[in-house]
Structure 1
Protein backbone atom coordinates (compact mmCIF):
# COMPACT_ATOMS: atom_id res chain seq x y z
CA UNK A 1 0.00 0.00 0.00
CA UNK A 2 1.27 3.43 -0.90
CA UNK A 3 1.01 6.35 1.48
CA UNK A 4 -1.24 9.21 0.51
CA UNK A 5 -4.82 9.98 -0.32
CA UNK A 6 -5.58 7.26 -2.88
CA UNK A 7 -6.80 4.87 -0.19
CA UNK A 8 -10.11 3.77 1.25
CA UNK A 9 -11.29 2.12 4.41
CA UNK A 10 -13.76 -0.73 4.13
CA UNK A 11 -15.77 -1.39 7.31
CA UNK A 12 -17.96 -4.42 7.71
CA UNK A 13 -20.36 -4.64 10.67
CA UNK A 14 -21.68 -8.12 11.40
CA UNK A 15 -22.83 -10.24 14.32
CA UNK A 16 -20.40 -12.47 16.16
CA UNK A 17 -22.59 -15.48 15.36
CA UNK A 18 -22.57 -14.84 11.58
CA UNK A 19 -21.30 -17.87 9.67
CA UNK A 20 -19.92 -18.64 6.21
CA UNK A 21 -19.57 -22.23 5.04
CA UNK A 22 -19.49 -23.52 8.62
CA UNK A 23 -16.89 -21.03 9.91
CA UNK A 24 -17.10 -17.71 11.74
CA UNK A 25 -17.78 -15.13 9.05
CA UNK A 26 -15.19 -12.70 10.41
CA UNK A 27 -12.48 -15.37 10.27
CA UNK A 28 -13.52 -16.49 6.78
CA UNK A 29 -13.33 -12.86 5.62
CA UNK A 30 -9.85 -12.38 7.11
CA UNK A 31 -8.60 -15.51 5.32
CA UNK A 32 -10.18 -14.58 1.98
CA UNK A 33 -8.98 -10.95 2.11
CA UNK A 34 -5.46 -12.14 2.90
CA UNK A 35 -5.61 -14.50 -0.08
CA UNK A 36 -6.35 -11.61 -2.47
CA UNK A 37 -3.49 -9.55 -1.07
CA UNK A 38 -5.14 -6.87 1.06
CA UNK A 39 -2.65 -4.72 3.00
CA UNK A 40 -4.17 -5.68 6.35
CA UNK A 41 -7.37 -6.51 8.18
CA UNK A 42 -8.40 -5.81 11.78
CA UNK A 43 -11.31 -7.46 13.59
CA UNK A 44 -12.79 -5.76 16.65
CA UNK A 45 -15.42 -7.17 18.99
CA UNK A 46 -17.92 -4.65 20.29
CA UNK A 47 -19.38 -4.51 23.78
CA UNK A 48 -22.85 -3.34 22.90
CA UNK A 49 -24.86 -2.44 19.81
CA UNK A 50 -28.17 -2.22 18.06
CA UNK A 51 -28.98 -1.97 14.39
CA UNK A 52 -31.88 -2.12 12.00
CA UNK A 53 -33.96 -4.39 14.25
CA UNK A 54 -33.40 -2.02 17.23
CA UNK A 55 -32.69 -5.06 19.45
CA UNK A 56 -29.89 -4.24 21.88
CA UNK A 57 -27.03 -6.73 21.98
CA UNK A 58 -24.75 -6.41 24.98
CA UNK A 59 -22.31 -8.30 27.15
CA UNK A 60 -23.65 -9.27 30.54
CA UNK A 61 -21.82 -11.46 33.02
CA UNK A 62 -24.59 -14.06 33.10
CA UNK A 63 -25.38 -13.80 29.39
CA UNK A 64 -23.27 -16.02 27.17
CA UNK A 65 -24.73 -14.48 24.03
CA UNK A 66 -22.67 -14.81 20.90
CA UNK A 67 -24.43 -12.07 18.96
CA UNK A 68 -22.16 -9.20 19.92
CA UNK A 69 -21.06 -6.83 17.17
CA UNK A 70 -17.95 -7.53 15.11
CA UNK A 71 -16.28 -4.81 13.04
CA UNK A 72 -13.86 -5.81 10.28
CA UNK A 73 -11.71 -2.93 9.00
CA UNK A 74 -9.61 -2.99 5.86
CA UNK A 75 -7.49 -0.07 4.64
CA UNK A 76 -5.89 -0.29 1.21
CA UNK A 77 -5.62 1.40 -2.16
CA UNK A 78 -8.89 2.14 -3.95
CA UNK A 79 -8.29 -0.60 -6.54
CA UNK A 80 -7.77 -3.24 -3.84
CA UNK A 81 -10.90 -2.22 -1.94
CA UNK A 82 -12.87 -2.41 -5.20
CA UNK A 83 -11.41 -5.89 -5.76
CA UNK A 84 -12.62 -6.95 -2.29
CA UNK A 85 -16.19 -5.65 -2.59
CA UNK A 86 -17.59 -8.53 -4.72
CA UNK A 87 -16.09 -11.03 -2.26
CA UNK A 88 -17.62 -9.19 0.70
CA UNK A 89 -20.96 -8.99 -1.12
CA UNK A 90 -20.90 -12.75 -1.68
CA UNK A 91 -19.96 -13.63 1.90
CA UNK A 92 -21.88 -11.06 3.98
CA UNK A 93 -25.61 -11.79 3.87
CA UNK A 94 -26.62 -9.57 6.79
CA UNK A 95 -24.92 -6.53 8.27
CA UNK A 96 -23.59 -3.16 7.20
CA UNK A 97 -20.78 -2.55 4.71
CA UNK A 98 -19.34 0.95 4.17
CA UNK A 99 -16.37 2.57 2.49
CA UNK A 100 -14.88 6.01 2.87
CA UNK A 101 -11.80 7.82 1.65
CA UNK A 102 -8.82 7.85 3.98
CA UNK A 103 -5.43 9.55 3.96
CA UNK A 104 -2.71 7.11 5.05
CA UNK A 105 0.04 8.93 6.97
CA UNK A 106 2.12 5.94 8.04
CA UNK A 107 2.05 2.23 7.22
CA UNK A 108 4.43 -0.18 8.91
CA UNK A 109 7.88 0.66 10.19
CA UNK A 110 10.28 3.24 8.78
Structure 2
Protein backbone atom coordinates (compact mmCIF):
# COMPACT_ATOMS: atom_id res chain seq x y z
CA UNK A 1 0.00 0.00 0.00
CA UNK A 2 1.27 3.43 -0.90
CA UNK A 3 -0.24 6.52 0.66
CA UNK A 4 -0.59 8.37 -2.65
CA UNK A 5 -2.98 5.88 -4.27
CA UNK A 6 -6.78 5.93 -4.41
CA UNK A 7 -8.34 3.52 -1.94
CA UNK A 8 -11.72 1.94 -1.38
CA UNK A 9 -13.36 0.09 1.46
CA UNK A 10 -15.27 -3.04 0.59
CA UNK A 11 -17.80 -3.98 3.28
CA UNK A 12 -19.77 -7.21 3.12
CA UNK A 13 -22.70 -7.72 5.48
CA UNK A 14 -23.87 -11.32 5.80
CA UNK A 15 -25.33 -13.70 8.36
CA UNK A 16 -23.08 -15.82 10.52
CA UNK A 17 -24.81 -18.96 9.26
CA UNK A 18 -24.28 -18.11 5.55
CA UNK A 19 -22.45 -20.89 3.72
CA UNK A 20 -20.36 -21.25 0.58
CA UNK A 21 -19.66 -24.75 -0.69
CA UNK A 22 -20.30 -26.20 2.77
CA UNK A 23 -18.02 -23.75 4.65
CA UNK A 24 -18.78 -20.59 6.56
CA UNK A 25 -19.07 -17.85 3.95
CA UNK A 26 -17.06 -15.33 5.98
CA UNK A 27 -14.15 -17.76 6.26
CA UNK A 28 -14.34 -18.72 2.58
CA UNK A 29 -14.34 -15.02 1.62
CA UNK A 30 -11.26 -14.23 3.71
CA UNK A 31 -9.37 -17.14 2.18
CA UNK A 32 -10.39 -16.12 -1.36
CA UNK A 33 -9.54 -12.44 -0.75
CA UNK A 34 -6.09 -13.47 0.47
CA UNK A 35 -5.61 -15.72 -2.57
CA UNK A 36 -6.39 -12.88 -4.97
CA UNK A 37 -3.90 -10.58 -3.24
CA UNK A 38 -5.96 -8.15 -1.18
CA UNK A 39 -3.98 -6.11 1.37
CA UNK A 40 -5.97 -7.52 4.30
CA UNK A 41 -9.43 -8.39 5.57
CA UNK A 42 -11.13 -8.15 8.94
CA UNK A 43 -14.22 -10.05 10.08
CA UNK A 44 -16.39 -8.54 12.81
CA UNK A 45 -19.21 -10.41 14.54
CA UNK A 46 -22.15 -8.25 15.51
CA UNK A 47 -23.80 -8.42 18.91
CA UNK A 48 -27.24 -7.54 17.62
CA UNK A 49 -28.72 -6.58 14.28
CA UNK A 50 -31.35 -7.12 11.65
CA UNK A 51 -31.47 -7.01 7.90
CA UNK A 52 -33.89 -7.50 5.06
CA UNK A 53 -36.08 -9.95 7.00
CA UNK A 54 -36.44 -7.44 9.89
CA UNK A 55 -35.83 -10.31 12.33
CA UNK A 56 -33.61 -9.16 15.21
CA UNK A 57 -30.66 -11.46 15.89
CA UNK A 58 -28.70 -11.02 19.09
CA UNK A 59 -25.99 -12.66 21.16
CA UNK A 60 -27.98 -13.22 24.35
CA UNK A 61 -26.89 -16.51 25.88
CA UNK A 62 -30.48 -17.75 26.11
CA UNK A 63 -31.09 -17.27 22.39
CA UNK A 64 -28.01 -19.23 21.23
CA UNK A 65 -28.36 -17.60 17.83
CA UNK A 66 -26.00 -18.75 15.10
CA UNK A 67 -27.19 -16.14 12.63
CA UNK A 68 -25.60 -13.03 14.08
CA UNK A 69 -24.52 -10.27 11.72
CA UNK A 70 -21.04 -10.60 10.23
CA UNK A 71 -19.12 -7.77 8.54
CA UNK A 72 -16.11 -8.46 6.34
CA UNK A 73 -14.10 -5.31 5.69
CA UNK A 74 -11.30 -4.85 3.16
CA UNK A 75 -9.31 -1.69 2.44
CA UNK A 76 -7.15 -1.66 -0.66
CA UNK A 77 -6.38 0.23 -3.83
CA UNK A 78 -9.58 1.05 -5.72
CA UNK A 79 -8.41 -0.95 -8.73
CA UNK A 80 -7.85 -4.10 -6.63
CA UNK A 81 -11.27 -3.77 -4.97
CA UNK A 82 -12.92 -3.50 -8.39
CA UNK A 83 -11.06 -6.61 -9.58
CA UNK A 84 -12.30 -8.51 -6.49
CA UNK A 85 -15.96 -7.59 -7.02
CA UNK A 86 -16.86 -10.40 -9.49
CA UNK A 87 -15.53 -12.98 -7.01
CA UNK A 88 -17.41 -11.40 -4.11
CA UNK A 89 -20.64 -11.16 -6.11
CA UNK A 90 -20.36 -14.80 -7.10
CA UNK A 91 -19.81 -15.97 -3.52
CA UNK A 92 -22.35 -13.75 -1.73
CA UNK A 93 -25.87 -14.71 -2.78
CA UNK A 94 -27.65 -13.03 0.15
CA UNK A 95 -26.35 -10.00 1.98
CA UNK A 96 -25.22 -6.43 1.40
CA UNK A 97 -22.03 -5.49 -0.43
CA UNK A 98 -20.92 -1.86 -0.48
CA UNK A 99 -17.82 0.09 -1.49
CA UNK A 100 -16.79 3.66 -0.90
CA UNK A 101 -13.69 5.77 -1.33
CA UNK A 102 -11.43 6.36 1.64
CA UNK A 103 -8.21 8.22 2.42
CA UNK A 104 -5.45 6.11 3.95
CA UNK A 105 -3.46 8.31 6.31
CA UNK A 106 -1.14 5.65 7.75
CA UNK A 107 -0.42 2.03 6.98
CA UNK A 108 2.06 -0.24 8.74
CA UNK A 109 4.89 0.78 11.03
CA UNK A 110 6.30 4.28 11.26
CA UNK A 111 9.86 4.49 9.95
- The answer, yes or no, to whether TM exceeds 0.5 is yes
State the distance in 2 between where 1:22 and 1:4 align. Answer: 40
Residue 42 (1) aligns with residue 42 (2): yes
Equivalent residues in 2 for 1:61-72, closer than 5 Å: 61-72=61-72
- Report the TM-score when normalising by structure 2: 0.96
Paired residue total: 110
Distance apart, 1:4 and its partner CA: 3.7
Render the CA deviation track for 1:54-102: whole Å, top value 9, x for unaligned. Answer: 1111111112110000000000001100011000000000000000000
Is this contact kept in 2: 1:4–1:105, CA < 8 A?
no
Distance 1:86 1:98 in 2: 13
Q: Which moved more, 1:79-88 or 1:52-61?
A: 52-61
Runs of 5+ unmatched residues, structure 1 = none
Corresponding position of 2:52: 52
Match of residue 87 from structure 1: 87
TM-score by length of 1: 0.96
Please state how far the C-alpha of 1:107 moved relative to its aligned partner. 0.8
Q: Which has the higher strand share?
A: 1
Structure 2 regions of 5+ residues with no counterpart?
none
